[in-house]
Chain A
């Protein structure tokens, strides 16, 4: 009856792994059983007699994830043809690892290696012949810029590391490997510059990766949710970017990058509000142009969260503030509309959110439909049917349009949820409750920390840093690295005094 109270039996994985035998038969039998040979179609083995020792040899691998030519050139042919004293001298592959137990063997086969068992030898050998298929390097599509490199990360870990190394020739650049997941072990790479990174943050990243309790963590998007501090918070605390150039600029400042297979992007920690607000293009553009773009983005930030709420507050509660002409115009346009103002705004905002969600999910060939339906329903028909007043269309259009200027996907959601909070609070007691909600929201965001770094740093609390917040300095005047992440070397200019 109380079965659920009983402890779930631990699987064998915790017990001592079985060691590799001296006899080939036993090894073969065991590994075939482990991988359900026969049932498992792509689990293959090749049997041969090595020329150098005249012993029987068996090679095991997944045919679907190895390079068949490489298996032949680097393993099979040398074994059949070459002379030598030991197996290491014979095999011509770039790396040969010795393996003593079956747990390692399983792991290696799963990650695309071929395992060699030799009769009379209680060591197996693992040769890297992996060839996972992945997409080629494409253009960054979600973080578009006009200037700057267009390459984007792709779903292969090795390619992504190479994209970073291509941009940063630094012997201190370390890619540290870690494995997450209990059942399917996935490789995670922590990339950092060894003599810049803050050890405490690095330690905390390692700890959080070690503490992940999951059978399988497939990609970075999931990993982000495993390592963030506050899963229920309104704002994100880990930055995801698909641009290797962007990632490298963070590396140079002493941040930590996390890479994984199967994700066309990387995670950056620790981050602040400003990391989400900035776009890589701000730096690729000249000082004045980049800052102008930031100013526009800040305005967009303000408008997208506040314009609907402000409109409600002013027209509902503080209409005295509006100049008479404008007030009359608004009143006239609302004359035949039956709904209260807040209801009107909500209808339109929700309609906009629906179009947006549908627009993302809709299959490409049907894409244009969204535009037609959206424009017709939202713009024309709703006004003509007197469901909403024309001015609301303008307000919602502005609030919707400006939300696209908030580029980061995560912060975009935060902003859109915030907008609804503000709309409701403005409908309650006008500016009074709107300001209250704003301050509560603001202080909530200010209390968020990403790996110990306050969210509005370096604006407040202030640190010695380039003060790259709302505006940035001219690049040649940036002397410091961001002090809020406490890099080991805070000075950016090694040559000047």
Chain B
């Protein structure tokens, strides 16, 4: 019995919340808080407001041009060459972000748990698992995300619940931290923290029907923005104005404050389990989508063999930055800034071109 396209809204929702929602537990909060101090929790809201129109526009276009994925849409609107060029640019920025992000995660794991292990080994294990997972295909990734989602979210909620007694609400002030201008500019510059939402559109046609994709992506993106803001606010309220900018890994630091009663006082490894699960899932999805985008740009039908070389190149590129500080505060910061205009503008450009071509008038 062959059952095509078993993926539904819930699987997309799970993949999105794991993939993008994971940002609340990596170094993104510390990257932002180092700029905007305790007001950094507003940045995702601003970023989201800035980038969501483009995302919705892209979904709108996909709906208009039925049964096309991201790259096919680009080609349909901009023509083969221009479309492929833009597709390739998206691929490049996403791939760079994959490499730098993965290095970032490996460095987190190394710093927190394996300070004496070589980065290379950890990196190979990490990407190796991501490769094995990605090789299983989108359906299995979707199933696993959905089954893993409750565990991951439960651990997050448990953490939020246990840290509640350390919260002081007044730490929200000064409300704009280092100034409204900083918050706004950072919010706009870092809009690309949601750029990963766009990558899912490559899988537009892989779901049961495109309607489920749209539902899943709306649901996913709104839940993501909600939980990211919630946890950023939680970090602010726990760490306060000055120190929040200096905390390197807010999520892991919070888990160090948590006790299960008086007996189990060091439970960070417990949360680490679910964090690792989510981190692996995130890079499985990332790797898979990137291989797919690349294959779509270059008209490669069987793209799953591409996952292995891409996994390898991820490690090679990820190893370029000399240390985690340079990687995170320089390369990743810049990359996020550069990606923002690309992801905000390309759906708008597409829409304008489509509009003048007259494609939008067709029902």
Tell me, yes or no, whether A358 is within 8 Å of chain B by CB.
no
Say whether B125 contacts A431, CB under 8 Å.
no
Contact of A321 among B122, B146, B268, B276 (CB under 8 A): B268
Say whether A460 contacts B136, CB under 8 Å.
no
**Chain A residue nearest to B264 in the complex (CB):** A323
Tell me which of B5-13, B289-297, B348-356 binds A.
B5-13
- Known contacts A439-B133, A460-B143: A429-B6 contact under CB 8 Å: no
Say whether A460 contacts B2, CB under 8 Å.
no
- Interface size on B (CB < 8 Å)? 45
B109 to chain A, nearest CB (A): 6
Tell me, yes or no, whether A24 is within 8 Å of chain B by CB.
no
- Known contacts A439-B133, A460-B11, A462-B8: A433-B125 contact under CB 8 Å: yes
Tell me, yes or no, whether B312 is within 8 Å of chain A by CB.
no
Describe B's contact surface by its main secondary structure. helix
Contact with A along B102-125 (1 / 0, CB 8 A): 000000010001100100011001
Say whether B1 contacts A460, CB under 8 Å.
no
A451 to chain B, nearest CB (A): 6
Tell me, yes or no, whether B267 is within 8 Å of chain A by CB.
yes
Tell me, yes or no, whether B277 is within 8 Å of chain A by CB.
yes
Say whether B146 contacts A460, CB under 8 Å.
yes
Say whether A460 contacts B126, CB under 8 Å.
no
Across-interface contacts of B3 in A (CB, < 8 A):
452-454, 486
Tell me, yes or no, whether B209 is within 8 Å of chain A by CB.
no
**Chain B residue nearest to A441 in the complex (CB):** B132
**Chain A residue nearest to B1 in the complex (CB):** A452
C-alpha gap A314/B267 in the complex (Å):
11
C-alpha gap A435/B280 in the complex (Å):
9
Contact of A432 among B113, B140, B265 (CB under 8 A): B113
Say whether B266 contacts A461, CB under 8 Å.
no
C-alpha gap A452/B109 in the complex (Å):
39
Say whether B276 contacts A431, CB under 8 Å.
yes
Say whether A460 contacts B133, CB under 8 Å.
no
C-alpha gap A9/B114 in the complex (Å):
65
**Chain A residue nearest to B9 in the complex (CB):** A462
Tell me, yes or no, whether A201 is within 8 Å of chain B by CB.
yes
Contact with B along A431-453 (1 / 0, CB 8 A): 11101111110111011000111
Contact of B280 among A314, A321, A439, A451 (CB under 8 A): A439
Say whether A443 contacts B136, CB under 8 Å.
yes
Tell me, yes or no, whether A318 is within 8 Å of chain B by CB.
yes
Say whether A430 contacts B113, CB under 8 Å.
yes
Across-interface contacts of B141 in A (CB, < 8 A):
443
C-alpha gap A431/B122 in the complex (Å):
12
Say whether A456 contacts B143, CB under 8 Å.
yes
Across-interface contacts of B266 in A (CB, < 8 A):
320-323
Interface residues of A in 311-332 (CB under 8 A from B): 314, 317-318, 320-323
Contact with B along A414-437 (1 / 0, CB 8 A): 000000000000001111110111
C-alpha gap A485/B128 in the complex (Å):
34
- Known contacts A446-B144, A454-B6: A439-B125 contact under CB 8 Å: no
C-alpha gap A416/B118 in the complex (Å):
32
B19 to chain A, nearest CB (A): 15
Say whether B140 contacts A439, CB under 8 Å.
no
Tell me, yes or no, whether B270 is within 8 Å of chain A by CB.
yes
Say whether B129 contacts A440, CB under 8 Å.
yes
Across-interface contacts of B114 in A (CB, < 8 A):
317, 429-430, 432
Tell me, yes or no, whether A162 is within 8 Å of chain B by CB.
no
Tell me, yes or no, whether A204 is within 8 Å of chain B by CB.
yes
A109 to chain B, nearest CB (A): 39
Contact with B along A260-283 (1 / 0, CB 8 A): 000000000010000000000000
- Known contacts A204-B1, A460-B143: A440-B269 contact under CB 8 Å: no
Say whether A323 contacts B269, CB under 8 Å.
no
B86 to chain A, nearest CB (A): 32
Tell me, yes or no, whether A459 is within 8 Å of chain B by CB.
yes
C-alpha gap A368/B142 in the complex (Å):
50
C-alpha gap A433/B139 in the complex (Å):
24
Across-interface contacts of B133 in A (CB, < 8 A):
439-440, 443
Tell me, yes or no, whether B272 is within 8 Å of chain A by CB.
yes
Across-interface contacts of B161 in A (CB, < 8 A):
none
Tell me, yes or no, whether A98 is within 8 Å of chain B by CB.
no
- Known contacts A431-B269, A460-B10: A447-B136 contact under CB 8 Å: yes
C-alpha gap A298/B67 in the complex (Å):
42
C-alpha gap A485/B1 in the complex (Å):
9
C-alpha gap A432/B273 in the complex (Å):
8
A30 to chain B, nearest CB (A): 47
Interface CB pairs A-B, < 8 A, 24: A317-B113, A321-B267, A429-B114, A429-B121, A431-B269, A432-B276, A435-B276, A435-B280, A437-B129, A439-B277, A439-B281, A439-B284, A440-B129, A442-B147, A443-B132, A443-B133, A443-B144, A446-B143, A454-B6, A454-B143, A456-B147, A460-B10, A460-B142, A486-B1
- Other than A432-B109, A460-B143, give 16 A-B pairs with Cβ distance below 8 A: A200-B2, A317-B113, A320-B266, A321-B267, A431-B272, A436-B129, A437-B129, A440-B132, A440-B133, A443-B136, A444-B132, A444-B136, A459-B147, A460-B10, A460-B144, A461-B7
**Which of A's residues lie within 8 Å of B, judged by CB?**
198, 200-201, 204, 270, 314, 317-318, 320-323, 428-433, 435-440, 442-444, 446-447, 451-454, 456, 459-462, 485-486
**Which of B's residues lie within 8 Å of A, judged by CB?**
1-3, 6-8, 10-11, 109, 113-114, 117, 121-122, 125-126, 128-129, 132-133, 136-137, 139-144, 146-147, 263-270, 272-273, 276-277, 280-281, 284
Minimum-distance CB pairs A-B, first 8: A452-B1, A436-B129, A461-B6, A460-B143, A460-B146, A435-B276, A321-B269, A200-B1
